[in-house]
Amino acid sequence: MGNVLFYHLTRSSAEATARTLLDKSLPKGWRVMIRGTNQSTLERLDHRFWSEPADSFLPHGLQGGPSDGDQPVLLGTGAIANQAQVLVLIDGAETTADEAGALERVCVLFDGDDPARLSHARGQWKQLTEAGVPAQYWSEETGRWVKKAEKG
């Protein structure tokens, strides 16, 4: 059973943090699904992954294409379709305890300046940890990522 890592964003964007997580996951041979709730956000992320940084290629695709199962990184709103070991949740996207427990890692990225997103993340923490899924809470309020809490 993997961990759920909650990332309380106060300085970095979800896009930048997701890119950092991809840069750590892909060299381990892990496939990644980035699940959002807003298609336009995923399309913006798709564009950034193709163009930034200019000297770095990040193989990925938007969910719904003919090669979803082949994508090392898949961006979508639905179920995992690329045999991912890592699930990154943005924009309040959801996971279940069963899904999280079957993965190496779930990363929940949430905007600490948005009270609704903060409340939603607290609800996810409670739901997942009460179901027995190990979780960690990370904050970047000091400018560095610091683990603030761990359960399970």
Tell me the per-residue pLDDT of 33-51, one tens digit each, with 9 for 90 and over: 999 999 999 999 998 888 7
Residue 55: the pLDDT is: 67
CB atoms within 10 A of CB 122: 13
pLDDT for residue 56 is more than 80: no
Q: Please tell me the CATH code under which domain 3-151 is placed.
A: 3.40.50.10110
Residue 142: the pLDDT is: 84
Percent of the chain with pLDDT over 90: 84
Going from the C-alpha of 147 to that of each of 10, 88, 110, 138, the distances in angstroms are: 14, 18, 15, 4
Q: Is the pTM of this model over 0.85?
A: yes
Residue 57: the pLDDT is: 74
Instruction: Return mean pLDDT, the chain.
Output: 93
Residue 141: the pLDDT is: 84
pLDDT bracket for residue 60 (50, 70, 90): very high
Q: In the chain, what are the domain boundaries?
A: 3-151
Instruction: Give the side-chain half-sphere CA count within 13 A for 15.
Output: 14
Structure-block tokens of residue 80? 């995992």
pLDDT for residue 1 is more than 90: no
